[in-house]
Amino acid sequence: MSHRRALVLGALAASLCLPSTAFGLDEVNSKKLRDAVTVNGILQHERALQAVANANGGTRASGTPGYEASLQYVKQRLVKAGYRVKEQEFTFPFFRELAPATAAQLSPTPKDYTVDTFEYSGSGDVTANVQAVRGITIPPPAVPGTTPAGCTAADFTGFTAGNIALIQRGTCDFGLKARNAKAAGAVGVIIFNEGQEGRTGLPAGTLGEPIDIPVVGMTFADGAAIYQQLQGGATVKLHITTSTEADLDATTKNLIADTKTGNADETVVVGGHLDSVVEGPGINDNGSGTSAILEIAEAMSEQKIKPRRAVRFAFWGAEESGLLGSEHYVTTLPADDLTKIYANLNFDMVGSPNYARFVYDGDGSDSEPAGPPGSGEIESVFTKYFAGQGLASEPTEFSGRSDYGPFIAVGIPAGGLFTGAEGIKTAEQATKYGGTAGVAFDPCYHQACDTINNLSTNALNEMGDAAAHATLVLAKSKSGLFPDGSRKAARDKSKAKKFGSDHAR
């Protein structure tokens, strides 16, 4: 799962501010498919991805041989299952950190800090005064993601060129904060975490594109400590060594597999990202989503299920670099083909060891913004399913942090599941789902320890079945997401065609 937040917020606003009015989808009996989707089958794919990582330096990141081997494994399985399979190649800026970043405060009190390098940070060895930007809020606001620091050029009013910018995580994405700092003349950037529960550790992530100054993440406690010293002045030395500009160009692929039956004018895209971070094998993030989707695709083939709507299984590349694979797919799809995408389901991390059952908040009832119209009905497919199984679930924000982001940006309804990443499980959630309060949902998130041992088989079982159910409901339901039931338009089209033929005679 990428740390990049919602894409092109201006484009999103028009579609996301609309109410997502729900209309009833048919009840679809998914038991046969769910019985065919097994934990053993999902784990078979997970073990294959772990073997790929073991043979390729412990990673399956886009732009590496490990990713290509992962893609060929999935492709071979889908071709054997009878799908129409194609690769979609694209280039992207490849990034690799060559040595751990360091940060040392030289004055007023010498101290070494633990920091993490943001993806696409530039290299550098800079020593400068630290200057806070406007909008830093200590103590932090009650609602995560609402601190505005560094999100506009106005936040850098009075900033002294040649200083290191101190910025707090919050409302906008990391890349925008860093670009604003660069434009204001900063020679380095420290982005410290926001401070609420689950947002206190190192906020490593992606800047979305290369920037030629050092950018590091710092814990809330350390960032707040530097902030408190700024009145008397503080000098910090940052040292980062990353890949050079010449190394940044790389090629990777999306893998797309279509059913041979179903109405292609209402295609349901079921996707998840195939790549890991460079630092690890990514067996939960997102081997779990990849493996669940692949198991569903194979089970649909084995059960000879003929969908009413075509289903497109998509395995995205370079998600960890900023949703680049899904963004490439959506932005390069011809306009006529884009109108044929009926809905998007996204499964990014469904096996977290200390898991919760999160459902994307398509109707915006718990968090803003809501998804495009139809997203609320997709959310209800999941919530009704879990309720019917006697399983608790809860909404999670539709932030654009995963590969559904490019779809909702162009108004396509979307939904999906998530079992948690670096966030901390609360006592209430531990009571609801089991597991351990005060511990991250995935303690190995974006780390080398995200291996085959970093999974909950209960999560894979429950979320795999829910994913299979939602896929089948959207693929088979006669009624649809909109007031005309998604059938009236087809009937009208048929009548118009018939009238045209009669009239020609």
Catalytic center residues: 319
* Residue 54 preceded by cis peptide, ω within 30: no
In this structure, the number of other CB atoms found within 10 A of the CB of residue 65 comes to 14
In the 3-class helix/strand/coil scheme, how is 92-161 assigned residue by residue?
A: EECCCEEEEEEEEEEECCCEEECCEECECCCCEEEEEEEEECCCCCCCCCCCCCCCCCCCCHHHHCCCCC
Place of tokens 């040595």: 99
The closest of 310, 214, 181 to 256, measured between CA atoms, is 310
Burial string for 435-461 (b: 16+ CB within 10 Å, else e) reads beeeebbbebbbeeebbbebbbeebbb
The closest of 89, 152, 501, 487 to 308, measured between CA atoms, is 487
Angle separating helix axes 287-302 and 457-476, nearest 10 degrees: 50
The tokens of 455 are what? Answer: 């999974």
SS3 of residue 424 by DSSP: strand
For CA atoms 29, 33, 36, 42, the dihedral sign is negative
In this structure, the number of other CB atoms found within 10 A of the CB of residue 75 comes to 18
Measured between alpha carbons, how far is 461 from 357 in angstroms, rounded to an integer? 12
Angle CA 142–147–153, to nearest 5: 165
Please provide residue 289's backbone torsions phi and psi, each rounded to the nearest 5 degrees. Answer: -65, -45
Measured between alpha carbons, how far is 286 from 62 in angstroms, rounded to an integer? 12
DSSP E strands, 317-440 = 341-347, 358-360, 394-396, 414-418
470 to 107, 248, 416: CA distances (angstroms): 57, 39, 9
